[in-house]
Structures are given as structure tokens and as C-alpha cells.
Amino acid sequence: MRIRPLRSTPETPLSPVSAPPEAMRAAIIEACGEADALREASIPVPSPVLSELLVRVVAAGVNPIDAKTRAGAGVSAAIAQYPSALGFDFSGIVVKSPYESHPFPPGTAVFGMAAFPRTGGSYAEYVVAPSLSVARKPAALSHVEAAGVPLAALTAWGLVVETAHAHEGQRMLIHAGSGGVGHFAVQFAAYFGAHVTATASGRNAGWLRELGASVVIDYTTTRFEEVVGEVDVVIDLVGNVRAETGTRSLEVLRPGGLYVLVPTGGWPGYAVAAAQAGVRATSYKVIPDGSALATVARLLDSGAVQVYIDQVFELSDAAAAHRAIEAGHTRGKIVLRVSDD
Ligand SMILES: NC(=O)c1ccc[n+]([C@@H]2O[C@H](COP(=O)([O-])OP(=O)(O)OC[C@H]3O[C@@H](n4cnc5c(N)ncnc54)[C@H](OP(=O)(O)O)[C@@H]3O)[C@@H](O)[C@H]2O)c1
């Protein structure tokens, strides 16, 4: 795909806003545990402080870190008190702004991340979010579509653009190209002119080619290191958690190439192994950057990049959404529908 000039995100008219109630529906946990630990309850509406926004949530995105946190890993150590509403991604309408001339006044349609990586709480009718973790919702997207974007797209942006500096002629291998992060990573890399090889199961091959992958390798039938040739960058969204994907990735990198490990703790020995193999290596942690999200919004509005929503669950069915994300075969994103537009 060639780089095209971007239009500004068109402004959506402000929506009417009502004063928030004292209590709201939320999907909460009272302790870490299995997916069934996640249930709907009534909890107080949170109060924004200083530069924070209060947003009425229309839809909330589901990410693997939500399920890891619920299970006692992820960012569970940062849960300050129970019951705790889970979730970071949201799309909705600003209800309270920090000050009168703030760029996101009440009624603005926004999407973004709740206080990541600490309190979260987007699986709820209202969420508090730092102003800097929010952008205007792409006008071309519904709230359900927009809610699938923030964490996954910002991760992909951080990996492909800010870390790997995707450019014309660069050869990039992206593992799990069909997942939440992967399908954005494939599109960003192709947009900036890289030659993209993605791994996924065969059912996703045609779709990934439509998104910009030049080559798709079915990891269920083919060992990628036997067919991929030499690449400049590996974006590893799997790690050594499955089939020694990280170790095998070092075999396909050119001398001095770059290996990027994404799942936290997905391969503790990656740095030593990469040094021995003569390649550079780094891990990565997503940053909830609202200005990068605004750039992503422009790409979405222009049609250069798309979000794919695999499944939509009701807020009351958040446990089922967690079981689905934990199965590890989501195409694109899973989203919770929280309230009406
Ligand atoms: N460090 C950070 O800041 C950060 C940020 C975001 C995500 N992450 C982590 O990165 C990982 C990916 O996140 P995500 O949201 O993209 O997950 P996801 O949406 O759940 O990924 C699912 C995809 O993985 C594919 N897949 C499963 N096993 C595979 C294998 N062995 N080889 C290739 N593809 C495989 C599946 O393809 P098929 O259905 O075709 O099998 C599916 O499409 C997670 O571990 C997540 O926690 C880290």
C-alpha cells in the first residue's frame, strides 16, 4: 500500500449530555479467578480529578491483558481495591471535562484508554480517563468499532512505526498477524511500504492478504523458518509461550536485524539468545498515547486502515468475552456493548 495524504478527522456534532447517576452497571471482580469471577454489579460512578475526563461508555474493548489481570497475572498487582471494574479500552461520550475550553467538551465522542496500566474500569457505564489517553472517535466508525482500537492499535503503532521504523523495502515478519494487535501491525507496516510476512492459521490467510500482507504462513502446517527467507524485523506477538516461536524467529533475522518481543514474560531469555545470534532485541510496553491515537483515527477515517470486530458481547456477558479471548484465536477484536449511543 502507498502512503497517501491524510484528511483531518471530521468533527462529529456534540451529543446531548445528562448528569451522571450515583451508581452504574459494571463488570467487576471481587477477587482474581476464572472467567466466572467476572460478573455484573452496581457500583458507584467514579469521580474525575483535575485533568481527567468522565466518559459515558457506549462500548468497551476486550484485550488479553484484561483476562490475564482477572486471572491474577497481567496488572492485577495494581488493583487498589475490590470490587474492581476491569477493562481499559472504551468508546463513548464525554460527560465531564476538566475546564470550559478543554479540547474535549461534554458531548464529544471520544475513544481511548482508562488509566492504563493502573485502575482501568472501562467495563462500566462510566469511566474516568486521563485527557492525554483519549482522542476524538473516528467519525467513520461506530462506538463498537472504535472500542476495539485503542490498546491494540497503539501497541501496533509503537511496534511497527516507533520501534521498527517501518519503511519502503523493509522485510518484516509479524507473528499472530490475525489478532487484535497483529491486524493493525500488518496494516501499519504495509502502509509505510514494508514487505510484510504474517503468521496465522490458514483460515485467516486471504483476509490478511487483503490487509496488506504479501505472504501469509499457516503456522499450523508450516514451520515459518523453513520458508520465510531473511527478514530485517520480527514483531513477535507469540513468544516462546507457543512452539518456541521466539527462538525460531532468531534464525530468520539478518545479522543486526531487530527482534521485538511483545507478550510480557513471553520469553525471559530473549536478550541473551538474541545477542548470541548477532541480532538486536527489545521488549515493548504499550503507552496510552492520545496523540498517536489521533493519528490512528485519521488513518481509520481515511479508510487506509480498518478495525475488524470478531465478536460483540453484552456487558452482562463479559465472562463469555473473556473465555473467547483466552481461547487465543480471535480474528481482530472482541468488544462489549455497554449502553446505547
Ligand atoms: N507488551 C504490551 O504492551 C502488549 C500490548 C498488547 C498485547 N500484548 C500481548 O501480545 C499478545 C497478542 O495480543 P493480541 O491482542 O493481538 O492477542 P489476540 O488478539 O488474542 O491474538 C489472537 C491471534 O493469535 C493467533 N495465534 C495464536 N497462536 C498462534 C501461533 N502459534 N502463531 C501465530 N499466530 C497465532 C490467532 O490466529 P489463528 O486464529 O489463525 O490461530 C489469533 O488470530 C498477547 O500475549 C498480549 O497480552 C502485549
By most ligand atoms within 8 Å of CB, the mutation choice from 330, 331, 333 for ligand 1 is 330
3 pLDDT higher than 60: no
| Cell 494487535 belongs to residue | 181
pLDDT at position 12, please? 80
| Cell 524467529 belongs to residue | 249
Is the shortest distance between the CB of 61 and ligand 1 below 6 Å?
no
Residues 6+ apart with CB under 8 A from 234: 172, 173, 174, 175, 249, 252, 253, 257, 258, 259, 260
Q: What share of the chain is helix, strand, coil (3-state, %, to 5)?
A: 30, 25, 45
Q: Whose CA is nearest to atom 33 of ligand 1?
A: 176
Question: In this structure, are residues 199 and 176 in contact, taking their beta carbons and an 8 Å threshold?
Answer: yes
pLDDT at position 310, please? 98
24-83: pLDDT as tens digits = 999 999 999 999 999 999 999 999 999 999 999 999 999 999 999 999 999 999 998 999
**Terminus-to-terminus CA distance in the chain, angstroms?**
34
By most ligand atoms within 8 Å of CB, the mutation choice from 260, 262, 311, 322 for ligand 1 is 262
154 pLDDT higher than 80: yes
Virtual torsion, Cα 331, 183, 157, 171, nearest 10 deg: 140
Closest ligand 1 atom to Cα of 183: 16
**What ranges in 192-330 are assigned the alpha helix state H?**
205-211, 245-250, 270-277, 290-302, 318-326
4 pLDDT higher than 60: no
11 pLDDT higher than 90: no
